[in-house]
Amino acid sequence: MSRPVKHSLTLRGHRTSVSLEEEFWQAFRDIAAERGQPLNALAAEIDEARGFDSGLASAIRLFVLRYYRDRP
């Protein structure tokens, strides 16, 4: 695994930075492309569903994990 890399995202008109390992960034981009969604839209969807107990980076990692784990 690589070290976390910081990227900026725009969620509902507000810029935020998220640090993820490059492997998670690539998987996140791949999932967004498969779903036909812009990366920011998918990030906003995850952000809305995550609650306040976890950070956005953790929520994205868990989303990626669940996405690939639950595939047929």
> According to the model, what pLDDT value does residue 1 have?
61
- The backbone region for 31, taken as left when phi is positive above 0, alpha when psi lies in -120 to 50, beta otherwise, is alpha
Q: Give the count of domains, the chain.
A: 1
Identify the domain containing residue 62 by its residue range.
Answer: 4-69
Residue 57 has pLDDT above 70, yes or no: yes
The CATH number that applies at residue 57 is: 1.10.3990.20
Contact 67, 46 (CB under 8 A): no
Greatest Cα pair distance in the chain: 35
Mean pLDDT of 50-58: 87
Question: How confident is residue 54, by pLDDT bands cut at 50, 70 and 90?
Answer: confident
pTM, 2 dp: 0.91
Mean pLDDT of 17-44: 96
Question: How confident is residue 62, by pLDDT bands cut at 50, 70 and 90?
Answer: very high
61 burial level (CB within 10 Å; 0-12, 13-18, 19+):
middle
